[in-house]
Amino acid sequence: MTKEYHQSDYLPPKGAADLLLIRHGRTEASRPGESFPMVDGHGDPALHPMGEEQAILVGERLKKDAISAIYVTTLRRTHQTAAPLARHLNLTPQVEPDLREIRLGDWDGGEYRIKAAEKAPEFMRAIEREEWGEIPNAETTQQLHDRVRAGLLRIAAAHPDQRVAVVVHGGVIGAAMSIASGARPFHFNGADNGSISRLVILGDTMWVKGFNDCTHLG
């Protein structure tokens, strides 16, 4: 009988960490003249009811995965998004501060959304030049990438041969995908709330294995 050779399923290399990057759920809206609470210079809105539902759906999607750890950032929207999955898996989320959202300087606290909707000149320059530093007193794109890379490598080094859920922010996912793929800095910006992207990391080498999976959100 002739021997048959079939296509094989992907398996991460031995010693690699398999990171699921989950964008937090939708947050409460910005309003002119009002600021979100601030944590270490970052706006800290709570989840909107739609975001709470997205968090539940993320938990349902991943509750049967062999996830060894859950990471969140210093901002409460990631904690709230991680909570349903943490309950399913009986895991206590750990905090990785370097994966917090872009520091938006004078526009943090909710102002960024308003300026973006108004197409303020600084926002348009930031998009055109792929440079967050065009926003007054914001961190630069390079500063963001440096700390996101450090945070990802720290998590990966702690979890060889394990799958880890990492609940983060849209700007962080964009940076992570750019770092891993070599794409332009803003190429992967725009991951949806509640979406799941995937990185495999071994040493300082990263592979993109998924981006903006929203099938669980309906």
Residue 7's pLDDT band, with cuts at 50, 70 and 90, is: very high
pLDDT, tens digit, 9 for 90 and up, residues 147-199? 999 999 999 999 999 999 999 999 999 999 999 999 999 999 999 999 999 99
Enter the DSSP assignment of 4: -
Catalytic choice (96, 101, 111, 134)? 101
Share of the chain above pLDDT 70, in %: 100
Q: Where are the domains of the chain?
A: 17-101+139-217
Residue 218's pLDDT band, with cuts at 50, 70 and 90, is: confident
Q: Is 101 a catalytic residue?
A: yes
**In the structure encoding, which two tokens stand for residue 74, read together?**
């210093």
State the average pLDDT over residues 15-44.
96
Look at the domain 17-101+139-217 and name its fold.
Rossmann fold (3.40.50)
Q: What is the pLDDT of residue 118?
A: 97
* Global confidence as pTM: 0.96
DSSP 76-124: HHHHHHHHHHHHHHT---EE-GGGSPP--GGGGGGHHHHHHHTT-HHHH
> What is the pLDDT of the chain when averaged over all its residues?
97
Q: What is the pLDDT of residue 88?
A: 98
Q: Over 90: is that where the pLDDT of 207 sits?
A: yes
Q: How far apart are CA 188 and CA 32, in angstroms?
A: 28
Residue 1's pLDDT band, with cuts at 50, 70 and 90, is: confident
